[in-house]
Amino acid sequence: MKSILFLSIFISLPSFAETTPNSTENLVTLKDVRISMQRMLKSTDGAYFLDLYAGIWNPHGTLSNLQEQTRTMFKGSQKGDLISLQSTDQAEANPYTLTGNLNANSGQFKAELSDLKNPNTKRAVTFEPAFKAVDKPLLVFKFYGLEGADQPYGRTLKRVDVINKNNGQVIQKLEGFNAFGNSIGFLDMNFDGFYDVVLSDTSEARKIEDKRFIYWMYNPQLKAFQRSPQLEKIVGFPTLKGESQKIDFGVGGQYRVDQGLLYPLNDE
């Protein structure tokens, strides 16, 4: 029998107990928490799909040529909105550079793709979000938790304040968990155009290498994040494959996403 998991939290809503803090501890502000944001972009001509990790000290990505069915890995540097990437495979017959300006709010990336062996063959490529959403919120985060030698990895993330980037108002507080305090994931888990929050679970003496995660899915109907206990049952780091709308959890298996439902590939 085919098993199905609910990925869209507006289909399967969590209980209030899953979002209510269970502690009155005095939390401190956690600084320098890295936000790992995966942007899934598609060229306006439909020829390329780009998985881009930017806004970090080592921007990198994977460019898929949808016509030739090839994939090229890139890494490089970022200064402001300017991103400069170079293909990483030194043995590649045609090394490439990908350079352009990223609009952090709209997600548009106006770039130039160049063949290093043929510098005169430059191609202008404009990328836009592969999964577009209406009324997409502009958000920033503030992090709170506990610090000290008694905390896993030196500190524990226990609360995330979700802040409206335009007016600075706190619109939601994510609580009721213990998570790795140095970084979070911000990615579109269900390919609906809205980014979701992914935390590394450190409750019950769990370690990063256990690859257990806490998922806060954005609900556009409620304009709020809601926790997804269904996803948290899956072990493994979620590698998103936007061009095929699939998720590879490694040891947790591979799934395809269809209208908010998660279908195990080995059941098909």
Could you tell me the CA-to-CA distances from 127 to 63, 133, 136, 190 in Å, in that order? Answer: 11, 15, 18, 20
Report the alpha-carbon distance of residue 264 to residue 255 in Å, rounded.
Answer: 4
139 and 30 within one domain: yes
**pLDDT at position 24:** 55
Task: Give the model's confidence band at 49: pLDDT under 50 very low, under 70 low, under 90 confident, else very high.
Answer: very high
Report which secondary-structure segment, H or E, holds 230: helix 229-232
165 and 123 within one domain: no
Asked whether residue 1 is domain-assigned, the answer is no
Q: Decide: helix, strand or coil at residue 260.
A: coil
Asked whether residue 252 is domain-assigned, the answer is no
Per-residue pLDDT tens over the stretch 197-245: 999 999 999 999 999 999 999 999 999 999 999 999 999 999 999 999 9
Asked whether residue 250 is domain-assigned, the answer is no
**pLDDT at position 99:** 96
Report the alpha-carbon distance of residue 268 to residue 263 in Å, rounded.
Answer: 8
Residue 104 structural domain = 38-129
Asked whether residue 221 is domain-assigned, the answer is yes
Task: Give the model's confidence band at 116: pLDDT under 50 very low, under 70 low, under 90 confident, else very high.
Answer: confident
CB pairs under 8 A, 24+ apart, for 137-142?
Answer: 137/164, 137/194, 137/218, 137/223, 138/105, 138/164, 138/165, 138/166, 139/163, 139/164, 139/165, 139/195, 140/165, 141/33, 141/35, 141/184, 142/29, 142/170
Per-residue pLDDT tens over the stretch 78-111: 999 999 999 987 555 568 999 999 999 999 999 9
Report the alpha-carbon distance of residue 223 to residue 229 in Å, rounded.
Answer: 19
**pLDDT at residue 259 tops 90:** no
98 and 83 within one domain: yes
153 and 112 within one domain: no
**pLDDT at position 152:** 94
Report the alpha-carbon distance of residue 172 to residue 226 in Å, rounded.
Answer: 10
152 and 105 within one domain: no
- In the block, tokens 């802040």 appear at 163
188 and 140 within one domain: yes
Asked whether residue 261 is domain-assigned, the answer is no
Report which secondary-structure segment, H or E, holds 146: strand 139-147
CATH code, domain with 73: 2.40.128
Nearest to 261 by CA among 3, 1, 2, 5: 5
- In the block, tokens 């556009």 appear at 220
175 and 98 within one domain: no
Write down the mean pLDDT value for the chain.
88
Report the alpha-carbon distance of residue 248 to residue 264 in Å, rounded.
Answer: 10
165 and 194 within one domain: yes
